[in-house]
Amino acid sequence: MSDATSLSSLKWARSVFCGAELGDSRRTDRLILMASRAAARPGGKISEVVLDAAERQGAYDFLEGEQVSAAPVLRSVANAAFQCAEQHPFCFAAVDGSSLSLTDTQHKKGFGTVGSTGIGLKVITSLLVSPDGVLVGIADQQWWARPARPKISRKAHRQLRLKARPHQKETQHWLRAIEQTCQRAQQAGVQLWFQLDREGDNRDYLSALAKCGHRFTVRGNWNRLVRSFGTSKDYLCEVLGRHKPIGSYELDVPAGPGRRARRSKMTVRAAQVTLILRDKWMKTATTLTLTAVITKEMRAPKGEKPLDWMLLTNAPVTTLPQAQQVIYGYAQRWRIEEFHKTWKTGACKSEETQLRSTQAVITWATILAAVATRIERLKRLSRTEPDQPADIELSNVEIRALLLLRREVNHRKEIRLNAMPTIGQATLWIAELGGYTGKSSGGPPGAITIRRGLEYLRPATQLLESLGQNEK
């Protein structure tokens, strides 16, 4: 088993951040200590994560000083993720944009606009996910501060955007995230399958993905022009509609806002198409041949919108199993949505930071992003591989501390302290320490109760580690 998935918070921090080249080994040691504190007690504010006054001041000096930037911290995080990825035949790479809404009442921190009225920072994250849907780690992040929109009409603003080249638009950050992810994958010898949502249905993104040498799937957002029957033109949805279904399958649909849980029958169509990618401003067009897969719910309940995905991919699709693999891969893109929630407002609360500069916020948020992947990984393992032994993610000391707390707090005297629980059991017990109450909580353990439980577990683990060191 890899160091990144088997050791306690301090050893986990070493495995992820030891490669950070900060110009001085003492800075790297400081980074590792801060990351271990954040892993054991996640939170957006340094004062909530680091309780010792002298150590807390050292953390502020580290982040707010001019000697440390986020770039080497991110490289170390990404290298650790690709080391873990090497054990898999390939990894999904979910790429998506988000933003951190931050506080800057005096407008001195260098933040940009977020949404229509907020302030903060924009970020593109590339996240590695294993073939069975377990989060592996962060492949890349691209940060920027969005300038205020010029005070011109919407029509004039749209014309400016159309005229701008990719390197002049926010498109550059997406392209840079894809490029950096590919470079690191090549260095590690890891095969990728990129997964992008509707925002990825963009001429520049599709062209870059087609040249990257990896598979990709993008959810279609436009009924694009396609070339059919020689030189004639047609539209994508109409072309797919003329193809017969290649099969159907059943899908368990969970309940959601305005949606009832149900078991739906989905029909699948697939066709190879040549997209016409037009540049309206330059009045030019290029073509790109891909496979389009559309999966649609046959009979939706009354009053609910049928499920409908149109996916563009360079993977070969001629059979139903191949189409289902494409659909399954795109479904793993949701891991990045869960990561965003845990990182920004959930367990790690990175939006609550009150650091004084953009660089400090990005560095601290990068550390918290790595912590969020650890929490999400533990959560997912408990659901997808619940029968695996707990030491695939927790150290022996953490497991023993958990068993002791389980026996004392829950009055379960029959628990053997030398037993090895499954990862599913261990995660449930950790969540119960954090306030999880089973079915009444509304579902399986989530990131917040797991984070609270890890925080509760921390002092017991430290005590056992201290006792073990004193006995030597």
Which of 283, 314, 345 is the endpoint of a domain? Answer: 314
Split at pLDDT 50, 70, 90, the class of 253 is confident
Domain that holds residue 269: 220-314
Residue 96 tokens, joined: 């998506």
In a domain, 108, yes or no: no
* 44 compared with 385, residue with greater pLDDT: 44
Q: Are 422 and 383 a contacting pair, CB within 8 Å? A: no
What string of DSSP letters covers 156-186?
Answer: HHHHHHHHS-GGGSTHHHHHHHHHHHHHHHH
422: CB partners within 8 A, 6+ apart: 386, 387, 388, 389, 390
Q: Are 185 and 213 a contacting pair, CB within 8 Å? A: no
Nearest to 3 by CA among 120, 87, 59: 87
From the CA atom positions of the chain, what is the Rg in Å?
24
The angle formed by the CA atoms of residues 251, 255 and 260, to the nearest 5 degrees, is: 90
Which of 314, 331, 354 is the endpoint of a domain? Answer: 314
User: What CATH number does the domain containing 409 carry?
Assistant: 1.10.740
**Model confidence pLDDT, tens digit, residues 437-461:** 876 666 788 888 888 888 888 788 8
What string of DSSP letters covers 71-115?
Answer: HHHHHHHHHHHHHHHTTSS-EEEEEEEEEEE---TTS-S--EEET
What is the average pLDDT across 376-400? 85
Stated pTM of the model: 0.86
In a domain, 302, yes or no: yes
Q: Are 342 and 370 a contacting pair, CB within 8 Å? A: no
pLDDT, residue 361, reads 97
| Widest pairwise Cα distance in the chain | 81
In a domain, 462, yes or no: yes
What string of DSSP letters covers 382-408?
Answer: HHHSTTSBGGGTS-HHHHHHHHHHHHH
Residue 106 tokens, joined: 């005096």
Split at pLDDT 50, 70, 90, the class of 6 is very low
Burial class for 370, CB neighbours closer than 10 Å (0-12, 13-18, 19+): buried
pLDDT, residue 166, reads 59
Question: How would you classify the pairing of strands 215-219 and 112-114?
Answer: unpaired
**Model confidence pLDDT, tens digit, residues 16-58:** 999 999 999 999 999 999 999 999 888 999 999 998 999 999 9
Is the dihedral angle over the CA atoms 392, 396, 401, 405 positive or is it negative?
positive
Split at pLDDT 50, 70, 90, the class of 434 is confident
Which of 314, 343, 359 is the endpoint of a domain? Answer: 314
Q: Into how many domains does the chain fold?
A: 2
